[in-house]
């Protein structure tokens, strides 16, 4: 199976292993709630109805996006009638079904007809095959690697890309995608960037490839990602058991052993989506990713680290663990980030906001970006929140994959050209 044949125009969908019944979101609604001066009221509504939050924290955000199950709709409508709300998904289950239909529907012949790779979302097995086919097409300056194994034994598959200096001759650029399983757009965007590095005839891109060794892992949470396709589209964490609760999973981006236990930066509850884990760096995937990042750091060093997320349209840099301290080279970060968001906007008119993580989105402790900057010595360490700002949230239509990837590539190209 060669995805790159005929310009990536053909692919075969690998059949999934039989899995337990999916979580149904039929009839669920997703609302955006303006917090403003109603913080106490919003917190009461979210807490009393035990609503899962997609984006934002009531304590620190101007707005929060919440999922409301059918059983709580009447109660929500009553409790939130004095609040300013906006409906994002009339029926989340229908939105998920439409997303899957556009991405996973197969013809009688078992292939996605008349579609290119970047026009649809794909299975975990197909993503692995895509990387292998991409490498096979450019064997002289790329190789497939595994950063380690996941909880369930899946490889954390990446592609190493290098330029005219030869393998391992330059400082490293490390990119991670899909740390949060439901953020499917990150997988596609990271793959688009890898594909562009290898296929572009642009002299500026060739210059970038010759300057750095790229270590790109589009799916660093393969178990969680697979789980979103077999069981629960809204799953976020990894699939590691916890010693004191029946709830499964750690938030890999709250588990890195640096500034790990900061109040307000992560949850201590195993059932919460931002659970930091019982001990620093104990996540199976965290250990593997950390070891790989440190191996790059101990080699030629890390020039750039970037962790891709969705959604909110943000371009951010350290620190996440504190809002009261600036990274030493913050003025350089600010200047380069301003240029990157301008480059992004120039492509499709999409506006991104740049700034330090804690001040731009919220406090995050035990995250990979702070670790890369403070422990691995990355000269530049960043994270992005891709499209959108809340029209679709995590269930971003497949029609937005290409424009999202195109504009993000423009930002990456600007930053790498000027860093």
CA–CA distance, 141 with 21 (Å, rounded to integer)? 43
CA angle 53, 56, 62 (to 5 degrees): 130
CB 121 within 8 A of CB 99: yes
CA–CA distance, 241 with 31 (Å, rounded to integer)? 31
Burial of 408 (0-12, 13-18, 19+ CB in 10 A): buried
Q: Report DSSP state, residue 155.
A: E
Nearest to 218 by CA among 183, 196, 190, 197: 190
Ranges of H-type helices in 5-107: 5-8, 39-48, 73-79, 92-104
Nearest to 195 by CA among 284, 295, 118: 118
Per-residue pLDDT at 108: 28
Q: Which of 183, 273, 285, 385 is catalytic?
A: 385
Tokens of 312: 């909110």
CB 61 within 8 A of CB 35: yes
Strands (DSSP E) contained in 5-136 are 29-34, 52-55, 63-68, 85-89
Tokens 């731009």 sit on residue: 360
Per 3-state DSSP, what percentage of the chain is helix, strand, and coil (rounded to 5)? 35, 20, 45
CB 401 within 8 A of CB 119: yes
* 184 membership: H or E segment, kind and range: helix 184-199
Nearest to 237 by CA among 256, 252, 215, 220: 252
CA–CA distance, 233 with 351 (Å, rounded to integer)? 27
CA–CA distance, 179 with 270 (Å, rounded to integer)? 17
* pLDDT in 10s for each residue of the chain, 419 residues: 444 543 443 333 333 334 457 899 999 999 999 998 899 999 999 999 999 999 988 888 889 999 999 999 999 999 999 999 999 999 999 999 998 777 764 332 233 333 489 999 999 999 999 999 999 999 999 999 999 999 999 999 999 999 999 999 999 999 999 999 999 999 999 999 999 999 999 999 999 999 999 999 999 999 999 999 999 999 999 999 998 878 999 999 999 999 998 889 999 999 999 999 999 999 999 999 999 999 999 999 999 999 999 999 999 999 999 999 999 999 999 999 999 999 999 999 999 999 999 999 999 999 999 999 999 999 999 999 999 999 999 999 999 999 999 999 999 999 999 99
CA–CA distance, 213 with 300 (Å, rounded to integer)? 9
Per-residue pLDDT at 104: 61
Q: Report DSSP state, residue 21.
A: P
Per-residue pLDDT at 5: 44
Confidence (pTM): 0.92
385: annotated active-site residue: yes
- For 197-215, b where at least 16 C-beta lie within 10 A, e where not — what string? bbeeeeeebeebbebbbbb
Per-residue pLDDT at 110: 30
Q: How many CB atoms lie within 10 A of CB 121?
A: 20
Alpha-carbon separation of residue 35 from 32, 38, 61, 324 (angstroms): 9, 5, 7, 23
């Amino acid at each position: 199976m060669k995805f790159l044949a005929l310009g990536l125009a053909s692919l075969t969908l690998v059949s999934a292993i039989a899995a337990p019944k999916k979580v149904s979101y039929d009839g669920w609604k997703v609302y955006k709630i303006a917090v403003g001066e109603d913080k106490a009221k919003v917190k009461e509504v979210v807490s009393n109805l035990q609503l899962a939050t997609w984006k934002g924290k009531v304590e620190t955000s101007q707005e929060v996006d919440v999922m409301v199950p059918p059983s709580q709709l009447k109660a929500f409508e009553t409790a939130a009638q004095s609040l300013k709300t906006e409906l994002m998904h009339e029926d989340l289950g229908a939105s998920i079904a439409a997303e899957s239909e556009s991405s996973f529907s197969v013809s009688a012949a078992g292939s996605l007809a008349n579609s290119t790779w970047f026009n649809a979302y794909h299975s975990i097995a197909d993503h692995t095959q895509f990387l292998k086919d991409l490498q096979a097409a450019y064997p002289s300056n790329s190789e497939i690697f595994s950063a380690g194994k996941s909880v369930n034994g899946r490889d954390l598959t990446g592609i190493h890309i290098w330029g005219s200096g030869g393998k391992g001759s330059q400082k490293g650029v490390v990119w991670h995608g899909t740390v949060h399983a439901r953020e499917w757009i990150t997988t596609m965007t990271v793959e688009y960037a890898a594909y562009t590095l290898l296929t572009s005839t642009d002299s500026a891109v060739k210059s970038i490839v010759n300057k750095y060794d790229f270590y790109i892992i589009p799916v660093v949470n393969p178990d969680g990602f697979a789980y979103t396709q077999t069981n629960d589209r809204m799953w976020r964490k990894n699939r590691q058991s916890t010693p004191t609760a029946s709830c499964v999973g750690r938030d890999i981006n709250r588990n890195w052993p640096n500034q790990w236990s900061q109040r307000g930066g992560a949850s201590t509850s195993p059932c919460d989506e931002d659970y930091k884990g019982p001990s620093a760096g104990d996540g199976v995937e965290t250990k593997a990713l950390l070891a790989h990042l440190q191996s790059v750091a101990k080699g030629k060093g890390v020039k750039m680290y970037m962790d891709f997320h969705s959604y909110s349209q943000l371009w951010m840099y350290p620190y996440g663990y504190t809002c009261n301290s600036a990274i030493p080279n913050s003025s350089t970060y600010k200047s380069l980030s301003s240029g990157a968001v301008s480059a992004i906007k120039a492509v499709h008119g999409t506006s991104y906001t740049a700034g330090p993580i804690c001040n731009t989105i919220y406090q995050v402790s035990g995250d990979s970006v702070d670790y890369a900057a403070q422990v691995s010595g990355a000269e530049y360490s960043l994270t992005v929140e891709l499209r959108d700002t809340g029209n679709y949230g995590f269930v971003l239509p497949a029609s937005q994959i290409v424009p999202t990837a195109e504009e993000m590539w423009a930002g990456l190209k600007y930053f790498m050209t000027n860093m």
